[in-house]
Amino acid sequence: MAKLRKDEIVTIHVLKEKGESNRAVARRLGVSEGAVRYHLRRKKANAVDGRGKMCLIEKAGLTAAVEHWWRTQEAVLPKDRPPNVCELWTHLVDEYSFDGSYKSVRKYVRKTFPAPKLRPFRRVETPPGAQMQSDWLETTIDIGEDEPQKVYGFVMTLSHSRKTAVVWSRSMKQLAWHHVHNEALKRLGGVAAVNRIDNLKTGVSRGAGPWGEINESYRAYARTMGFHVDPHEPRQPQQKGKAERQVSVVKNLDLRRTFQSLADLQRYTDERIERADQHRLCPVTGKSVADSWAAERELLRPLPATLPEPFDLIKKCEVYKDCTIRFEGRTYSVPFEYVRKTVEVRGCSGTVQIVDRRTGTVLKEYPRGTERLLLIDQDCYEGDGTDEVKRPRPFGKMARRIQQLAAQPVQLRSIDLYAELAEVAR
């Protein structure tokens, strides 16, 4: 309720002096009875109305300085952009040693200058298959351990049908971020063209909103899955309101019960969501979410035959002349036809994947973080040449013999093989 004006407060006192009841006065002015009692108590206590007090800026004699700064800013800024009050406060502190708070400056500005125009929001309903929205929720749940655990729920919603997938995780790190995407997209049955996300670091490495820089690992994941990343503007959660709405719905599930494990929690959530989709209506189609999703699923991009393994590090590496690349202090071999080209290297939870940047095909896979610093697969040097790259020279006699010797266990190696090596060396 808005504050009463001074003339309305005077009216309260006049009507009371004429003998009207508090309820009658409240009805006349369209306020609550409590508001009438409040102002009557203030008069009885001889309270002073603080709304007429002089502001700190007025006491400091800075009204002219504020007026000049404000008009100057209005002249240089776009018409639909008001001056920044925080910048004004900083200007007063730096230039005039103003000792008041930011709040006092904001209060003065609101009293002195007209409020900026309201900007209404445009309501947009996306067509089927066009957009999905993603968000995290955090809660504490008893999952069968000594004490309740903090877990994170990843919520992904198709904007058209409102079909929602919820995937629980113990972490929000990069590997978990990719893993929950895989699981959510499997539950949605395909990939929409655009994914609207929050400005968290696993999605946006620098900046925010449309001008932010997409996390390199997440960009590679999105390219593999075939969707465009669309972060919403900072401090504008309503721009992914469908996911925000489903976060509150998930929190209202009966999560206070005890679950046997995280997998048990996941089964329970999947069942509850699937059951609710049979009855919940999609406002766009007027049908149930389940029926609307069945129609939208036909327009989603099919999932890859093999979902990309979650990775937390990505690097573009040039393939050297010896058909190797360097990654995390180790050397890995690459199929020879990629020599002098650039490949994409992904650091997964237990493996290193070398990927064709154009097609997303995994060319080679090696164990990650081994004691060995040099990992060479001779199959990378086999095969037919291409129009641009010749086939590497095959093994000579000595090299073939060495390979045969290395392939056999020491206890099974024949003495004749060593003799043959000596003969070849002559």
Q: What is the DSSP string of 192-237?
A: -SEEEE---TTTEEES-GGGSEEPHHHHHHHHHHT-EEEEPPTT-G
- Tell me the HSE value of 370 on the side-chain side, using a 13 A CA sphere: 13
Profile the chain (426 residues) by mean pLDDT over runs of 10 residues: 77 88 88 88 75 77 93 89 92 92 91 84 88 96 91 96 96 95 97 96 93 94 94 89 91 88 95 94 95 97 91 94 96 96 94 91 94 94 91 71 60 55 51
pTM score over 0.85: no
Q: Which residue has the tokens 């919940």?
A: 280
Pairing of strands 228-231, 194-197: parallel
Q: What is the pLDDT of residue 422?
A: 53
| pLDDT at site 402 | 58
What would the DSSP string read from start to end of 317-370? EEPPTTSEEEETTEEEE--GGGTTSEEEEEEESSEEEEE-TTT--EEEEEESS-
306 neighbors 176 (Cβ within 8 angstroms): no
Q: What is the pLDDT of residue 276?
A: 94
pLDDT value for 407: 60
The predicted structure's pLDDT at residue 237: 86
**pLDDT confidence of residue 236:** 87
Q: Is 144 helix (H, G, I), strand (E, B) or coil?
A: coil
pLDDT, residue 4, reads: 81
Give the pLDDT score at 52.
Answer: 57
**Largest interatomic CA distance in the chain:** 128
CA distance to 220, 356, 388, per residue, from 316 (Å): 11, 10, 21
The pLDDT, as a whole number, for residue 131 is 97
Alpha helices in 102-173, H assignment, sequence order: 102-112
Contact 122/205 with Cβ under 8 angstroms?
no
CA distance 63 to 108: 9
